Amino acid sequence: MELIQQILFVVLAGFAIWFFAKKMAELRKNINLGRPEDFSDRPADRWKNVLLLAFGQKKMFRKPMVAFMHLIIYAGFIIINLEVLEIMLDGILGTHRLFAAPLGGLYPFLINGFELLAVGVIFVCVVFLARRNIVKVKRLNQAELTGWPRNDANIILITEIVLMCLFLTMNATDTMLQSRSFGHYGEQQTGNFYFSQWLHPIFNQASSNSLVAIERTAWWMHIIGIFAFLNYLPWSKHLHIIFAFPNAYFTRLEPKGKMENMPAIQNEVLYAMQPELAPAVTEEQPKRFGAKDVSDLSWRNLLDAYSCTECGRCTAACPANITGKKLSPRKIMMDTRDRMEEIGRNVKQHGSFQDDGKTLLHDYITQEEIRACTTCNACVEECPVSINPLDIILQLRRYQAMEESNVPIEWSGMFSNTENNFAPWKFSPDDRDRWVEG
């Protein structure tokens, strides 16, 4: 019977890891739909961002209470899952609490710490469920979160509660069987654990065989739940648990107000002003000015889209959104991700992309949205994982202006004045300094 359980566990673990790796490879292909961009500079600063933003969650602590609760879930996810290593080895080797003997007195201390985190995770998840579904915090209940995004958040929170309850149940029944010296449970005495012992009165009347059944059921459901959670991540906004780290590393290190110019356009202006600098051979022109679809964006923009936590801090800080405009930076990222996923399925089905008559601009993100942006960088500043919705907005606007010649009339006047007078205002360059006279 023990051998059958080991075989089942190895098969289950192998399938879960293979399926997860397969899906992550698909996501990598989708990210690579974007154009190349180099982020190999300043590695020390990049690792500093990983430590401060991804591990340290520096930006989260602008709202200390929520940040502390998020830290409990984060710590629970990272630290409690160290216990999964023991479960994995127990499942493969057919052992029970493999680390108890080598760690000695340290083992109960660690498990008590894990249980403290488990109780904390349960409490925080209940609070977060209430914030979303009872209190209805505004940024967590806006239009773009209707349907699946709202269900996704609730599913994850409920799953974490269930996993922590299974962990505590497993420990409670295990220690009760140890106290009864039942079977192999009596061979490894760890003593009661602080929080799970609160559950002992529930199981006191159960027979030892029933306790074994409960303990084994909780053990199997716990590890199956973890494998299911692992494979749910790539389909969920909680993919940021993984992608927040590379996203922090590959963040742009230039000042946030610095716009990315196109050398081809800059040179065109330079050569018009100083024709003697123009090369004899015409420089290769970019395939497209700005971005119309996700393939025109950088792979870094697409990594941003997969890293989005949908927390809405960007939208809550956006002055355009606050004043009732249609723009939501969170929706920009969600739309980019949805379009990328759609193109990924298209490529997977046909071997290469087949025109589907859709584009990111117009079909997913509207003209009204991108024109509402004030380019204030509030969304970039607020994002806990260094996502840059503004970069996508600017590239979509650049395409509209340079490829579609579709700009507001006020912009046309400004462009014309800049071209003719080297300033946004309709004054001759010779008269530019006249205002200081007298």
pLDDT tens track, the chain, 438 positions: 677 878 888 899 899 999 999 999 999 999 999 999 888 888 999 999 888 888 888 888 888 888 888 888 887 777 776 778 888 888 888 888 888 888 888 888 888 888 998 999 999 999 999 998 898 888 888 888 888 888 888 898 999 899 999 999 999 998 999 888 888 787 778 888 889 999 999 988 889 899 989 988 998 999 899 899 889 988 888 888 889 899 999 988 888 777 777 777 777 777 777 777 777 666 666 677 889 999 999 999 999 999 998 888 999 999 999 999 999 999 999 999 999 999 999 998 888 888 888 999 999 999 999 999 999 999 999 998 889 999 999 999 999 988 888 888 888 888 888 878 777 887 777 777 776 776
Given 177, 209, 241, the domain boundary residue is 241
Q: Do residues 301 and 218 both lie within one domain?
A: no
Q: Do residues 194 and 315 both lie within one domain?
A: no
- Compute and round to an integer the Cα radius of gyration of the chain: 28
Asked if 247 contacts 27 with a C-beta cutoff of 8 angstroms, the reply is no
pLDDT of the residue at 282: 63
Q: Do residues 97 and 168 both lie within one domain?
A: yes
Give pTM, 2 decimals: 0.84
Residue 44 inside a domain? The answer is no
Residue 436 inside a domain? The answer is no
Residue 101 inside a domain? The answer is yes
pLDDT of the residue at 421: 79
End-to-end CA distance of the chain: 99
Q: What domain range is 203 assigned to?
A: 2-31+63-241
Residue 254 inside a domain? The answer is no
Asked if 315 contacts 387 with a C-beta cutoff of 8 angstroms, the reply is no
Q: Do residues 285 and 412 both lie within one domain?
A: yes
pLDDT of the residue at 271: 73
pLDDT of the residue at 5: 79
pLDDT of the residue at 305: 94
User: What is the spatial distance between Cα 410 and Cα 426, in angstroms, rounded to a whole number?
Assistant: 13
Q: Do residues 235 and 273 both lie within one domain?
A: no
Q: Do residues 223 and 305 both lie within one domain?
A: no
Q: Do residues 288 and 142 both lie within one domain?
A: no
Q: Do residues 211 and 300 both lie within one domain?
A: no
Q: Do residues 207 and 276 both lie within one domain?
A: no
The total of structural domains in the chain comes to 2
Q: Is 192 left (phi over 0), alpha (psi -120 to 50) or beta?
A: beta
Given 185, 210, 241, the domain boundary residue is 241
pLDDT of the residue at 426: 79
Q: Do residues 268 and 339 both lie within one domain?
A: yes
Residue 314: exposed, middle, or buried by beta-carbon count in 10 A (0-12, 13-18, 19+)? buried
Residue 37 inside a domain? The answer is no
Q: Do residues 125 and 81 both lie within one domain?
A: yes
pLDDT of the residue at 66: 82
Residue 248 inside a domain? The answer is no
Q: Do residues 274 and 202 both lie within one domain?
A: no
Q: What is the CATH number of the domain that holds 400?
A: 1.10.1060
In the numeric block, the tokens 């969920």 are attached to: 236
Rounded to 5 degrees, what are φ and ψ at 87?
A: -60, -45
pLDDT of the residue at 285: 65
Residue 40 inside a domain? The answer is no
Residue 353, amino acid? F
Given 210, 241, 272, the domain boundary residue is 241
Residue 16 inside a domain? The answer is yes
